[in-house]
Chain A
Amino acid sequence: MAESGVIADYLEALRGKLPAAYVEELADGLDEEYQHQRERGQGPDAAAAAAIAEFGDADRILAAFTEAAPARRTVRTLLATGPLVGGCWAVVLIAGHAWTWPVPHIVRIVFGVVLLSVIAVLLGAVRAGQYCRALNAATVGCVGLLVLDTTMLAALLRLMPGPCWVLLLALPAGMTRIAYTLEALHTMQIRPRTG
């Protein structure tokens, strides 16, 4: 396709806001639409304008991709199940008298700050109005959550004074979230790049 100015501008508006593979797919569809318009007897400029009109508003397409983004679904799931997993951790910590554990205050403070930051980032991902912003925020939130969950698991296994029945609930919950988060990171990061 002789990418005319309007088509190049249209695709440029999508680049950087959607994964490159998505823009490549849209460019192919736009090319098909352009060729269709040319076959109907339109000149190059008219065909390009008609193809874009037929394709639809770029902002509308961006909004539809953002709404369907796996990052949004992942973050909603993590936020919805967060209180449940967090509640399990809290019960275990209380049952194990975690306030008596030999953990420096600074570590406890850093853990709390990271926890609050992860929640804020995940909420930001839900509210992000653009695919790549939602994806980036969700990725940061997922990585932060993985760090928190693995730290908590390691701390429990090392510092818990003895077997405790609530561990039977908390450990599977934590490990399930770690597995889900890893899978979600793969889905969010790898697939849009490789198709």
Chain B
Amino acid sequence: MKAEALKGHLDAMLLAALEGGPLHGYAVKEALRESSSGRLDLPTGTVYPALHRLEQAGYIAGSWSVVGGRRRRNYTLTDAGRRALTGKRADWREFAAVVGAALEGTPWPNPA
């Protein structure tokens, strides 16, 4: 799947990747690839600016550690990030239901 197709959803996927615990940038990318059975293979470099954007928004917090003599930046989901992820998941379910109904002719789910 190409990165362009993920526009608007990348932030939610990055937050979801961090839901299980702190990860560094490369591990976030690997987590996305593994959770999608390899179909979600982003250019690694593009993950970092997105992580920085989420950090500036307060959704994740970064901290440095030293691994093998090299400094490594790890990211942790914040409480604001968990709330944002919950909201983005709800938005996605609604979006998927609407598009599914339009493309497949499936009935619109009754919210009641």
Q: What is the count of residue pairs linking A and B with beta-carbon distances less than 8 angstroms? A: 73
For B53, the closest partner residue in chain A by CB is A68
Interface range for A = 20 to 34
For B47, the closest partner residue in chain A by CB is A29
Main secondary structure of the interface of B (DSSP, over half): helix
- B50 near A68 with CB under 8 A, answer yes
For B42, the closest partner residue in chain A by CB is A56
**Of the residues B27, B52, B63, B67, contact of A68 by C-beta under 8 Å:** B52
User: Most chain-B Cβ atoms within 10 A of its Cβ — which of A25, A61, A65?
Assistant: A25
User: Mind listing 21 A-B residue pairs with CB under 8 Å?
Assistant: A24-B71, A26-B45, A28-B71, A28-B73, A29-B25, A29-B26, A29-B44, A31-B70, A54-B43, A55-B43, A55-B45, A56-B46, A57-B45, A60-B43, A60-B45, A60-B46, A65-B48, A68-B49, A68-B53, A70-B56, A187-B56
User: Which A residues contact B (CB, under 8 angstroms)?
Assistant: 21-22, 24-33, 54-58, 60-61, 64-65, 67-68, 70, 73, 187, 195
